Amino acid sequence: MIAPELKQKLSAIVGAEDVTEDEGVLSSWRSGGAVAGGEPAALVRPSSTAEVRALLKLAREEKLNLVFSSSAPPRLRGDSVPAGEGIMVDMSKMDRIVRLDRRNKVALIEPGVTFERLIPEADAAGLKVLMPLRPKRGKSVLASALEREPIIIPKYHWDMTDPMLCTELVFGSGDLFRTGSAAGPGSLEQQWAAGGAQKNPMGPAQTDFVRVVQGAQGTMAAVTWCTLKLEVKPTIHRIWFVPDRKLSRLSEFTYRSLRPKLADEWLILNSYALAALISEKGGEEVDALAQRQAPWTAVYGVSGYEYLPQERVAYQERDLARHAQAAGVVPSPEVAGCSWKGMERILSSPSPEPYYKTAPRGDFLDLFFLSTLDRVPAFLEIMEAEAERFSYPAQRIGAYIQPIQQGRNVHVEFTLYFRPADREMAQALFLSASRALSEAGAFFSRPYGPWAELAYARCPDTVAALRKVKAILDPDHVLNRGKLCFEAREVV
């Protein structure tokens, strides 16, 4: 509940119909991932950048805590669950695909654009959206890129900002700022008239504020649009599976193949993560399907484009076969329960509802961090030992390894699947394993919820510098208060 005067002020900005205190609407922000205890007091739905700026201005005057959110529920990470009381700013009404530019392979989108909206439009223009693995339905494309969710085609992940290019930001201070080549001079229309396409993610000048805003969980600025790099849609596309008993062989195959930028999609899954991904029915079927898989499976895609597509696919498949042979693994067009066509569909579309990770047991927790591929076995051992301590069956840990930055490092994701009644146990395991993994060198580069404390305890110098930047961009701490390292909690 908020004071009537405040409600009036919010209504004056976004319109009374876009301010609500309805618990049915607010409840999704009470908890998410490993985060609980959110107290969303009201929700506003701005429909323009001007309204967002006005909200920020009001927030500074009234010392509000604004928590921006763009995607539909469920809340998977807890970043938009307020730490204590907060006013939710739901950006999903700003949902225009402002521009889709085939020549320059770029889209300009607002926060409310979801994968299921963008994919068909890009497809019709001959373009492909760079996807994370099976995002939930209703997931904002902008928010996904903003949170540095890994994309599944490592060769297109040149740097951590990808696939996000330019952005329009409203800093916590209320100032408007555009990053990259969108910065201007000139309005977007003037830039388009001059041939500009907002393709260059860097700058303006000698800062890259887009990097500061990415991974910030909405603590530095609100993003009102972004440009997103797209790639050409292949004319031929095939998927291969490489099942194997040993992760070490698949790692070897991955290193050999990614170095020369072979293949498009590339990911590694353990049997349970693969089963959860391909299962159509969920529940018991996942366990049964998992038992029919090899302990580990690499999945990769090969594409041909406009010119000599057959030749491209042929050389890639030959080179990949050579690497497979050297690593002692064998590619196959199918695995139990999934053909390559089926996997192609899975990799190019969002999850059906309910979100696929809830299908095996009804609830789940993701535990993810960055590292290098050669260090993954050590983390696996820790995760399994932790599971054993909590009597969680090791065979039901999902493991997903996503090479990023063209194979220079990996996103490692462990998923715990459990019945809602077992949440307490799962959460205890999750916390204990997070701590153990952090101690063993897991880099929580996207430190949601309890990971913030673990991650920032390791880097006091980074904390000191981040706080200086926060003081510039959000001097009154009106953005997602209590997250990351900015308030209250003393860093040891």
Partner 1 sequence: MSETAAKTFGTISEEAYRDLEEAVGPENASREPGVLDGYAWQPTNNDHPTERWVKRPVAVVLPGSTAEVQAVVRACNRHGLKFKAFSTGWGVWCGPTYDNVVQVDLRRMNRILEIDEKNMYAVVEPYAIAAQIQAEVMKKGLNLHIHGSGPNCSPLASATSGWGVGHDSIYMSYSPRNVLGAEWVLPDGEVLRLGAPGSGLGWFSGDGPGPSLRGVMRGSAGALSGLGIFTKCALKLYNWPGPPRIETEGCLLDARSEIPENMGFYLCAFPDRASFLEAVLKMGEAEIGYNALRTATAAYLNVMTPRLFKRLTDTKAIRDLMGKTLEYTIMMVLAANSREELDYQAGSLLSIVEDAGGIALDMSTQKPFVRMALMGFVRATIPALVFRIGGSFNTALDRNDALDTQENWRDACLAIKEEWISKGGILDDMGDNPYYVPYENNMWAHCEVVYQFDHRKPEHRAALEPIFLDFTIAALEQCMEPMFSSDPRVRAIIGPLAGGFNRWQREVSKALDPGEAADSTLYCGEGAFDLSAVDGAKVKRLNELIEKLKPEA
- Tell which positions 260-289 bind partner 1, by CB under 8 A: 260-261
378/374 Cα distance (integer angstroms)? 9
Under 8 Å between Cβ of 12 and 20: no
Q: Which helix (H) or strand (E) holds 190?
A: helix 188-193
Q: Which is nearer to partner 1, 1 or 492 (CB)?
A: 492
- Least Å distance, CB 468 to partner 1, is 4
DSSP string, 72-117: PSP-SSSTTS-SSEEEEEEGGG---EEEEETTTTEEEE-TT-BHHH
The partner residues of 222 in beta bridges, in order of sequence, read 170
Binding mask 217-236 for partner 1 (x = CB under 8 A): x-xx--------x--x----
**Which residue from 137, 423, 458, 489 is in contact with partner 1, where contact means CB under 8 A?**
458
User: Which part of the chain contacts partner 1 (CB under 8 A), choosing from 19-27, 109-117, 330-338, 399-407?
Assistant: 399-407
Q: Which is nearer to partner 1, 211 or 423 (CB)?
A: 211
281/88 Cα distance (integer angstroms)? 34
341 binds partner 1 (CB under 8 A): no
Residue 356 has what DSSP assignment? G
Q: Which helix (H) or strand (E) holds 379?
A: helix 376-389
245/430 Cα distance (integer angstroms)? 26
Under 8 Å between Cβ of 40 and 88: yes
Count of residues in the chain: 492
- Least Å distance, CB 143 to partner 1, is 15
**Which residue from 298, 455, 478, 479 is in contact with partner 1, where contact means CB under 8 A?**
455
382 binds partner 1 (CB under 8 A): no
- Least Å distance, CB 185 to partner 1, is 4
Name which of residues 16 to 35 contact partner 1 (CB under 8 A).
none
Q: Which is nearer to partner 1, 397 or 455 (CB)?
A: 455
Under 8 Å between Cβ of 209 and 198: no
> CB neighbours (10 Å) of residue 479?
30
- Least Å distance, CB 5 to partner 1, is 28
Q: Which is nearer to partner 1, 294 or 410 (CB)?
A: 410
Amino acid at 4: P
209 binds partner 1 (CB under 8 A): yes
**Which residue from 52, 81, 88, 183 is in contact with partner 1, where contact means CB under 8 A?**
183
Name which of residues 127 to 166 contact partner 1 (CB under 8 A).
148, 158-160
**Which residue from 111, 340, 456, 480 is in contact with partner 1, where contact means CB under 8 A?**
456
Residues 6+ apart with CB under 8 A from 102: 125, 126, 127
User: Which part of the chain contacts partner 1 (CB under 8 A), choosing from 270-278, 281-289, 338-346, 459-467?
Assistant: 459-467
172 binds partner 1 (CB under 8 A): no
Q: Which is nearer to partner 1, 27 or 325 (CB)?
A: 325
Under 8 Å between Cβ of 397 and 365: no
Distances (CA, A) of 267 to 76, 133, 166, 318: 21, 9, 27, 19
**Which residue from 29, 115, 177, 379 is in contact with partner 1, where contact means CB under 8 A?**
177
Nearest CA to 145 out of 121, 115, 119, 105 is that of: 115
User: Which part of the chain contacts partner 1 (CB under 8 A), choosing from 38-46, 91-99, 302-310, 331-339?
Assistant: 302-310
- Least Å distance, CB 458 to partner 1, is 4
CA dihedral 403, 240, 134, 415 (to 10 degrees): -60
Under 8 Å between Cβ of 260 and 200: no
Q: Which is nearer to partner 1, 8 or 190 (CB)?
A: 190
366 binds partner 1 (CB under 8 A): no
- Least Å distance, CB 146 to partner 1, is 11
Q: Which is nearer to partner 1, 72 or 202 (CB)?
A: 202
Q: Which is nearer to partner 1, 4 or 195 (CB)?
A: 195
Q: Which is nearer to partner 1, 339 or 445 (CB)?
A: 445
**Which residue from 61, 280, 311, 353 is in contact with partner 1, where contact means CB under 8 A?**
311
Under 8 Å between Cβ of 442 and 458: no
- Least Å distance, CB 404 to partner 1, is 9
User: Which part of the chain contacts partner 1 (CB under 8 A), choosing from 28-36, 112-120, 193-201, 236-244?
Assistant: 193-201
296/64 Cα distance (integer angstroms)? 48
Distance spanning both ends of the chain, measured CA to CA: 36
82 binds partner 1 (CB under 8 A): no
Under 8 Å between Cβ of 167 and 210: yes
Q: Which is nearer to partner 1, 183 or 387 (CB)?
A: 183
- Least Å distance, CB 218 to partner 1, is 11
Cis peptide before 204 (omega within 30 of 0): yes
Distances (CA, A) of 32 to 15, 35, 40: 28, 5, 13
Under 8 Å between Cβ of 241 and 331: yes
- Least Å distance, CB 459 to partner 1, is 4
Name which of residues 109 to 128 contact partner 1 (CB under 8 A).
none
- Least Å distance, CB 276 to partner 1, is 27
